[in-house]
């Protein structure tokens, strides 16, 4: 099967003081082997929550999860913490926005990557040789010397290269990258994206890229899922969606894209804000911002409509011609 990860009707609710917060509602999508699938949406739309739930890394205690997280045919939600520990890093790698949170300040970056390699029962000398090669793979400037640097001696971009090298050292089939370039300037961001594309080509690593940057998605993704207020409102092939966006929210995002440059756009440029969903009210979550909202949009949940192929859209108008 070409399917690597499949989310089926994933919902995540947090119990809070005034009831609960519906952080993720009925998200379904598939990531195929070796592809880059980008989940794009404003901050607070639930995209990081989805990523953390896959790794079973939610804070724990006050969330209720329903649905399935199927990785290579197995529902990760049925795995014990011990089984998850074996999967994290080895089968699914993860990198975050701020590498300093994941690096230990008192050890050199080379020794930290070599520790990761030795988890797979590789001896010290062999591990060290691999570290230098990995640092070259991620195009670390002066790789031979940088292995001996401490995290604080490196720039943000170099630290993110270390994280990618550390992740790569265990050769996972899936990399989850949560806003990996958000803290970096545009030039460095482009370099990191190039490295990620290279990984996909050289190691056939599938990447789930979580981002609020729609322009970046156009550069790198094979397929995308657009999230709004905890729901995936549209998903499919990146060219198909850029050519034929169906959901009114996706269309608004497209209009905000600068035509001449693919430079970063921030989704916050759209008026209004993502609602905080604290009661299970039926109706479309985008209705209060939607220029096409109908009476029933406020009353009943819109259906998920198959546009064509693997292109899906959650909207009453999907598949109809009236808004075109
Ligand atoms: Fe707009 Fe209605 Fe579609 Fe929601 S279901 S996006 S309110 S047209
Ligand atoms: Mg986030």
At 60-111, the pLDDT tens digits run 778 899 999 999 999 999 999 999 999 998 999 999 888 888 899 999 999 9
Q: Which ligand 1 atom is the nearest neighbour of the CA of 249?
A: 6
CA of residue 308 relative to chain centroid, distance: 24
Q: Phi and psi (nearest 5°) for 46?
A: 100, 0
Q: Which ligand is nearest to the CA of 43?
A: 2
Q: d(Cα 190, Cα 285) in Å, to the nearest integer?
A: 34
Q: Phi and psi (nearest 5°) for 39?
A: -105, 120
Tokens matching residue 144: 């031979």
Q: Which ligand 1 atom is the nearest neighbour of the CA of 318?
A: 3
* pLDDT, position 37: 97
User: What mean pLDDT do residues 127-143 have?
Assistant: 94
272 pLDDT exceeds 70?
Answer: no
SS (H, E, C) the chain: CCEEEEEEEEEEEEEECCEEEEEEEEEEEEEECCCEEEEECCCCCCHHHHHHHHCCCCCCCCEEEEEEEEECCEEHHHCCHHHHHHHECCCEEEECCCHHHCCCCCCCHHHHHHHHHHCCCCCHHHHHHHHHHHHHHCCCCCHHHHCCCCHHHCCHHHHHHHHHHHHHCCCCCEEEEECCCCCCCHHHHHHHHHHHHHHHHHHCCEEEEEECCHHHHHHHCCEEEEEECCEEEEEEEHHHHHHCCCCHHHHHHHHHCCCCCCCCCCHHHCCCCCCCCCCCCCCCCCHHHCCCCCHHHHCCCCCEEEEECCEEEECCCCCCCCCC
Model confidence, pTM: 0.90
Protein residues whose CB sits closer than 6 Å to any atom of ligand 1: 247-248, 284, 286-287, 290, 292-294, 297, 302, 315-317
294 pLDDT exceeds 80?
Answer: yes
Question: Residue 140 — pLDDT band, cuts 50, 70, 90?
Answer: very high
User: What mean pLDDT do residues 225-230 have?
Assistant: 95
Q: Which ligand is nearest to the CA of 319?
A: 1
Q: d(Cα 271, Cα 84) in Å, to the nearest integer?
A: 40
Q: How far away, in angstroms, is 23 Cα from ligand 2 center?
A: 12
* pLDDT, position 269: 45
Q: Which CATH number is associated with domain 3-91+174-314?
A: 3.40.50.300
323 pLDDT exceeds 70?
Answer: no
Q: How far away, in angstroms, is 316 Cα from ligand 1 center?
A: 6
pLDDT, tens digit, 9 for 90 and up, residues 158-177: 999 999 999 989 899 999 99
Q: d(Cα 162, Cα 131) in Å, to the nearest integer?
A: 10
Q: For a substitution probing ligand 1, which of 275, 284, 285, 319 has the most ligand atoms within 8 Å of its CB?
A: 284
Q: d(Cα 40, Cα 214) in Å, to the nearest integer?
A: 7
Question: Residue 245 — pLDDT band, cuts 50, 70, 90?
Answer: very high
Q: How far away, in angstroms, is 96 Cα from ligand 2 center?
A: 9
CA of residue 322 relative to chain centroid, distance: 33
* pLDDT, position 324: 44
Q: d(Cα 164, Cα 99) in Å, to the nearest integer?
A: 10
Question: Residue 206 — pLDDT band, cuts 50, 70, 90?
Answer: very high
Question: Residue 200 — pLDDT band, cuts 50, 70, 90?
Answer: confident
Which residues of the chain does CATH 3.40.50.300 include?
Answer: 3-91+174-314
Q: How far away, in angstroms, is 259 Cα from ligand 1 center?
A: 26
Listed residue (13, 39, 24) closest to 221, CA to CA? 39
* pLDDT, position 237: 96
Q: Let me know: does 26 contact 50? Beta carbons within 8 Å.
A: no
- Percentage of the chain beyond pLDDT 90 is 65
Q: For a substitution probing ligand 1, which of 290, 318, 320, 323 has the most ligand atoms within 8 Å of its CB?
A: 290
Give the least confident one: 4-13, 17-26, 64-73, 142-151.
17-26
Contacts of 260 (CB under 8 A, 6+ apart): none
- In this structure, which residue's CA is closest to atom 3 in ligand 1? 315
Question: Residue 246 — pLDDT band, cuts 50, 70, 90?
Answer: very high
ipTM: 0.94
- In this structure, which residue's CA is closest to atom 5 in ligand 1? 315
Q: For a substitution probing ligand 1, which of 230, 233, 248, 281 has the most ligand atoms within 8 Å of its CB?
A: 248
pLDDT, tens digit, 9 for 90 and up, residues 146-159: 999 999 999 999 99
Q: Let me know: does 307 contact 243? Beta carbons within 8 Å.
A: no
Q: Say how many C-beta atoms besides its own lie within 10 A of residue 77's C-beta.
A: 16
222 pLDDT exceeds 90?
Answer: yes
Diameter over CA atoms, the chain: 68
* pLDDT, position 316: 95
* pLDDT, position 259: 54
């Amino acid at each position: 099967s070409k399917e690597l990860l499949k989310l089926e009707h994933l919902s995540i609710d947090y119990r809070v003081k005034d009831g609960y917060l519906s952080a993720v509602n009925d998200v379904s999508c598939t990531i195929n082997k070796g592809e880059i699938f980008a989940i794009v949406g404003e901050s607070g739309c639930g995209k990081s929550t989805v990523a953390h739930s896959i790794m079973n890394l939610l804070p724990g205690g006050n969330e209720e999860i329903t649905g399935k997280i199927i990785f290579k045919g197995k529902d990760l939600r049925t795995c014990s913490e011990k089984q998850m520990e074996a999967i994290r890093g080895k089968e699914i790698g993860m990198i975050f926005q701020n590498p300093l949170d994941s690096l230990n300040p008192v050890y050199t970056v080379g020794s930290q990557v070599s520790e990761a390699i030795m988890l797979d029962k590789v001896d010290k000398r062999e591990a060290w040789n691999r570290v230098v090669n990995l640092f070259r793979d991620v195009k670390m400037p002066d790789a031979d010397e940088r292995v001996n640097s401490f995290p604080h001696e490196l720039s943000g971009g170099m630290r993110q290269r270390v994280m990618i090298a550390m992740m790569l050292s265990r050769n996972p089939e899936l990399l989850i990258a949560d806003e990996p370039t958000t803290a970096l300037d545009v030039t460095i961001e482009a370099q990191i994206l190039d490295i990620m594309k290279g990984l996909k080509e050289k190691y056939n690593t599938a990447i789930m890229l979580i981002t609020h940057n729609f322009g970046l998605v156009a550069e790198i993704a094979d397929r995308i899922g657009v999230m709004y207020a905890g729901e995936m409102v549209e998903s499919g092939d990146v060219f198909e969606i850029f050519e034929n966006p169906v959901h009114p929210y996706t269309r608004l995002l497209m209009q905000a894209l600068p035509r001449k440059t693919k430079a970063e756009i921030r989704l916050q440029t759209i008026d209004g804000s993502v609602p905080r969903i604290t009661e299970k009210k039926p109706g479309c979550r985008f209705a209060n911002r939607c220029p096409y909202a109908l009476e029933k949009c406020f009353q009943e949940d819109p259906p998920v409509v198959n546009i064509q192929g693997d292109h899906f859209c959650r909207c009453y108008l999907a598949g109809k011609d009236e808004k075109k």
